[in-house]
Structure formats: structure tokens, C-alpha cells
Amino acid sequence: MAADVSRFFAWEDDPDHPGWQRWRATDPTRFPSLLGPLSVRVDDGVARVRMTPERRHSNLRDHLHGGALLGFIDMAMFAACRGLGVLDAGTAVTLDLSTQFIGGGAIGVAVEARVELLRETGRMLFVRGLVVQGDATIAAFSGTLRKSTPPKGVA
């Protein structure tokens, strides 16, 4: 697949993970780049979104910081919707995100959000998922995204 680069994100084959796509922010000075590139793959209608937490994502106990995990979940919802083909590289917003922290996350070990699209309406996307690390579930979440308003004159 050829790279799809917008003003905000690049969507391209992940050279480190064959069969996966890489979703990365094109502006390193914006928040989405803090997490690094995310790897995305869709299997049986479920989008799998991965990142590997680094020290900069840790809390004082050397675990994955809750704020970093929330940031990952938020970004994973968008990357998953891109992978599922219901959101392009344009802007959209999170309307709500409900998260239940279930266990701690280790640094240096990949975390994976498994995201499913529950419903798409004209402007809304309803998703839910789990964040796993190895065999452990570390969080559950559900969220609603609102697609951007198309520019005037564009359907």
C-alpha cells in the first residue's frame, strides 16, 4: 500500500511489522507525536492498535502513567477508525471517553488496544475496546468520536 500522507497524519506500511500499517503524526511539535507512531492492523472487524511505552510514558513507580494510557486510548480510537475505513486523515473530536483501569502496565512491553466499531451514524462513531499487555487486560474503554464538519460546498 502506498503511503497516505495528510497535513496531520501519515498512514503507511509499517516497516517494523509486516502486515501492519503505521499511523504517525506529521508534526513532531503536536501532542499526537508524544506517543510515537502507532501500529494498526484490522482482524475480523477488530482494529488492533499498538505502541510500546517508554520511560517518558512512566509514572514514579516505573509503570505506564495513567495519563499516557488515556492519551494512547484516545489516539487508538482515531487510528482504529482510520484502519476500519470510517475516518480519514482529517480532523475529528472525542466527545466522550469512559475508561476503567484494570491493571498496571509495564514500560518497554507493547500495549495493544483492541477496538471495535459499535455504530457509525452520519457524523458520529461509537467504539469500545480493551487494552491488553501480553495476556493481561489493563484497561477497558468506550468512546464517541464526532467527524469534522465538511467544508461548505462539499458533501
DSSP code per residue over 61-86:
TSBB-HHHHHHHHHHHHHHHHHHTTS
Which pLDDT value is given to residue 153? 58
- DSSP annotation of 149: P
Q: How far apart are CA 145 and CA 147, in angstroms?
A: 6
Q: Report the amino acid identity of residue 120.
A: E
Which pLDDT value is given to residue 29? 83
Which pLDDT value is given to residue 92? 86
pTM above 0.75, yes or no: yes
Q: CA 153, 151, 121, 101: dihedral to nearest 10 degrees? A: 180
Q: Could you tell me the CA-to-CA distances from 25 to 35, 43, 104, 118 in Å, in that order?
A: 10, 23, 27, 26
Which pLDDT value is given to residue 3? 55
Domain ranges of the chain: 4-147
Q: Does domain 4-147 have CATH number 2.30.42.10?
A: no
Which pLDDT value is given to residue 154? 52
Q: For every one of its 155 residues, what pLDDT tens digit does the chain have, with 9 covering 90 and above?
A: 445 546 677 888 889 899 998 888 888 888 877 888 899 999 999 999 999 999 999 999 999 999 999 999 999 999 999 999 998 756 789 999 999 999 999 999 999 999 999 999 989 999 999 999 999 999 999 999 999 876 565 55
User: 81: which 3 cell numbers?
Assistant: 477508525
Dihedral of CA 147/91/74/9: which sign?
positive
